[in-house]
Chains A and B, each alone.
Chain A
Amino acid sequence: MLTMMSKYKKPTPPSTDTRWKLLEATMRRHGYKASSLIECLHTVQEAFGYLDEEAMRYIAYSLRVPLSKVYGVATFYHFFTLKPQGRHTCVVCTGTACYIKGAGNLIAAIQKKYNVEPGETSPDGEVSLLTARCFGCCGLAPAAVIDGEVAGKLTPEEIIERIEKKVKGHDSQS
């Protein structure tokens, strides 16, 4: 056991990107325990926007859990995504209240306009369309979160208009 322990070398971050420091801090705070796996995945997703193989490998080595388990946990929970997101994200709530009030029409409108399926990113990499179970903003149904901002009582026209504003705004900046 002792020799095995001494052979273990703490892995170095995959790159010099400073965002790895955030992950390092999370792992240290939890004493590199295997039980902090989900917290670590949260930190990576918040910093990088998604989980790639490199990150999962690094977490697996650091916490000393099998890569298969990291992958298993990352794919079990809906909150984690293994694909990079588009420049803008639009999360449409599909909770009961929003469903009753027509969330389906919002999704259909975005699908048509940007040629994107729920859970995917549009071919031009501009818009990612996601669905969520419930934001808990049922009073504002149907609701969506566009680039982190909650918008409520939407109609299909309004949601397209709001996304367009973001997309256009992005173009004018660059």
Chain B
Amino acid sequence: MTLNPEDLEQIAQARRDEEAQYRHRICVCMAAGCLSSGADKVKEALERVIKERGSEKEILVKPVGCLGPCAAGPLVTIDIDGVIYHDVKPEDAEDIIASLDKKPVKRLTMNTDVPLFQRQMRIVLENSGKINPESLEDYVAHNGYAALFKVISEMSPAEVIDEVTRSGLRGRGGAGYPTGLKWSTVAKARGPRKFVICNADEGDPGAFMDRSVLESDPHRVLEGMAIAAYAVGADMGYLYVRAEYPLAVKRLKQAIKQAERSGFLGNNICGSTFSFNVDIRLGAGAFVCGEETALIASVEGNRGQPRPRPPYPAESGLWGCPTLINNVETFANIAPIIRNGGEWFASIGTEKSKGTKVFALAGRVVNTGLIEVPMGITLREIIFGIGGGIPDGKRFKAVQTGGPSGGCIPEQFLDMPVDYESLASVGSIMGSGGMIVMDETSCMVDVAKFFMEFCMTESCGKCVPCRVGTVHMYNILDRMTKGLARMEDLELLEELCEMVRHTSLCGLGQTAPNPVISTLRYFRDEYLAHIQDKRCPAGVCQMAEAEVYA
């Protein structure tokens, strides 16, 4: 099937006409967060009420992707960008339908005149909450696949890489490696075949950006992958998704089928000589598989154990062929960059960190959910502006970024801009975008122990420093939280941190001590209280009886 720009426009126009027939469009969020709060029942109720009133031809109920404030779900919006209703129950359907053309239902209305909505800037999530993730036509109606079309018909692979390089986009998986540079390395590498892999093994506890993108806008990720494949000369792609995200897997499978049927994936895409196929590989719950060489091992059907680099996957990856691995969010940024140009993207953000970043805000904060903000915004704006501050009048203590590889940032750095370098300078990392807010009821030693337990169980066991070191660090932290530790333990802990950091094989081990190092740096007094006074300042840890210790 050969498509040309007119066909694309035709699909889009047909879709827009179809929607224009309705007087009202009610969008119900059908992402995992709202679904588990009962969004499917709300949708059924809305449809039932509309049917009873006989206005099926006037009102459209449309399932859409994630709107962001997940904790207030199920969320319903009226006429895209109109009123947002929160905590909707099936019983509210009657009132919502009755209020159309009149004043909105007050008790359900969400105040959109707050920083939560005003301070956000949506690039990756621009379609999220607006389009039906299960409809290719809807995606096309929102400029979907226009970038892929432009790339294939007007640009050479080198021009595509230039555009991405100009945009200054950096890997959104956490390490922040320049995407353009990675692409050109793969493009230059020689091999019998080349592969593109999308890393959707979002293992960081507390991070759910990738899940949301995949559930809300799956076609955009496929489009980004196809553009990357064209640029580097690959003909096969794998999407490595966590099996814990069944909804994302289902929508991706459907999206791949739709794209193949319409000729956006498969052989001779859009009538050109370029062919690209995508297959899904399910992860199986191993955090280490987020590391690129471990991920490749897993796609090959082996245990997900990393190997030493170099050679980097860009030269020798999947089955020894040059392989490009990027994160979901990185791929999601590609289509807008191609559509609007690299300069446009580079005009957003700070000098070294361009564009926007999606964060999953969770923990002790009023507005939990998904947010997208320009790089360079301060932590204070995110937590106290967009996040709405700490609930129950509690005091802010620290914010944890970067998951188990990141660190805890205390209050004195709240006014620091959020970018790759600044976060690294205070001992944390950007990471994939999890942001967990902690208040005075969280014990930092306990938090460090939590992350160390995570790294200990997730260590793949290949190299000794990580396999043995994490266990020892965990044991020391465990003793501390039980009031059984001595001052020598603290010294040993610090020594172990350095040793594990410098001698581990892969990123997991090298960053495993980060939570301990950063909490030791900013909350040393809490450690001392646990060791010397046998007391937990936050009242979290259950201290053993004094005589047990003696």
- Interface positions of A (Cβ within 8 A of B): 33-39, 41-42, 69, 72-73, 76-80, 94-97, 99-101, 132-141, 143, 149-153
Contact = CB atoms under 8 A, between A and B. Distances in A.
Contacts, number: 139
B284 A137 contact: no
Interface string B359-392: 0101110001100000000000000000000000
B369 A76 contact: no
B120 to A, nearest CB: 16
Contacts of A76: 286, 303-304, 460
B284 A100 contact: no
A138 B282 contact: no
Interface in B21-60: 32-33, 35-37
Nearest to B299: A35
Contacts of B211: 136
Given A138-B368, A150-B32, A77 B286 contact: yes
B32 A136 contact: yes
Given A39-B282, A138-B70, 13 more contacts: A36-B301, A38-B301, A73-B302, A77-B284, A79-B283, A96-B450, A97-B436, A100-B363, A100-B442, A134-B206, A137-B33, A138-B208, A150-B35
Contacts of B179: none
B233 interface: no
A37 B298 CA distance: 10
B205, B299, B454, B460 interface centre (most CB from chain A within 10 Å): B205
Contacts of A38: 281-282, 284, 298, 301
B70 A139 contact: yes
A34 B204 CA distance: 29
A96 B451 CA distance: 8
The 7 closest A-B pairs by CB, nearest first: A139-B70, A150-B36, A136-B208, A95-B205, A77-B284, A79-B285, A138-B362
A60 to B, nearest CB: 12
Contact of A134 (B204, B300, B301): B204
Most chain A Cβ neighbours within 10 Å, of B300, B301, B460: B301
B442 A41 contact: no
> Which of A41, A42, A79, A151 has the largest count of B CB atoms less than 10 A from its CB?
A79
Interface in B197-238: 202-208, 211-212
Contact of B301 (A35, A133, A150, A153): A35
A97 to B, nearest CB: 4
B438 interface: yes
Nearest to B280: A39
Q: How large is the interface on B (under 10, 10 to 19, 20 to 34, 35 or more residues)?
A: 35 or more
B3 interface: no
Contacts of B207: 134, 136, 138
Given A77-B304, A95-B205, A100-B442, A139 B369 contact: yes
Interface of B: 32-33, 35-37, 69-71, 73, 202-208, 211-212, 243-245, 281-287, 298-304, 360, 362-364, 368-369, 400, 403, 434, 436, 438, 442, 447, 450-451, 454, 460
A130 to B, nearest CB: 11
Contacts of B69: 139
Nearest to A37: B301
A80 B303 CA distance: 13
B285 A77 contact: yes
Contacts of A97: 205-206, 362-363, 368, 436
B284 A78 contact: yes
B10 to A, nearest CB: 34
B206 A95 contact: yes
Most buried by B among A33, A34, A140: A140
A36 B245 CA distance: 20
A94 B205 contact: yes
B73 to A, nearest CB: 7
B245 A139 contact: no
Contacts of B363: 96-97, 100-101, 138, 141
A150 B286 CA distance: 21
B362 A141 contact: yes
A151 B243 CA distance: 19
B362 to A, nearest CB: 4
Nearest to A29: B279
6 contacts: A34-B301, A38-B282, A79-B285, A97-B363, A100-B438, A101-B363
Contact of A133 (B37, B285, B362): B285
B436 A78 contact: no
Task: Report which residue of A34, A133, A136 has the largest number of chain B beta carbons within 10 angstroms of its beta carbon.
Answer: A136
Given A72-B303, A137-B70, A96 B285 contact: no
Contacts of A72: 303
A96 B207 CA distance: 9
A95 to B, nearest CB: 3
Which residue, A37, A72, A101, A138, has most C-beta atoms of chain B within 10 A?
Answer: A138
- Which of B299, B363, B403 has the largest count of A CB atoms less than 10 A from its CB? B363
Given A34-B301, A94-B205, A139 B285 contact: no
A173 B83 CA distance: 44
A143 to B, nearest CB: 7
A160 B205 CA distance: 24
Given A76-B286, A95-B206, A137-B33, A100 B436 contact: yes
A11 B460 CA distance: 32
Contacts of A100: 363-364, 436, 438, 442, 447
B436 to A, nearest CB: 5
B206 A73 contact: no
A39 B299 CA distance: 10
Contacts of A143: 36
A107 B498 CA distance: 34
Given A96-B205, A132-B244, A136-B32, A39 B304 contact: no
Given A35-B299, A152-B37, A138 B360 contact: yes
Contact of A141 (B37, B243, B368): B368
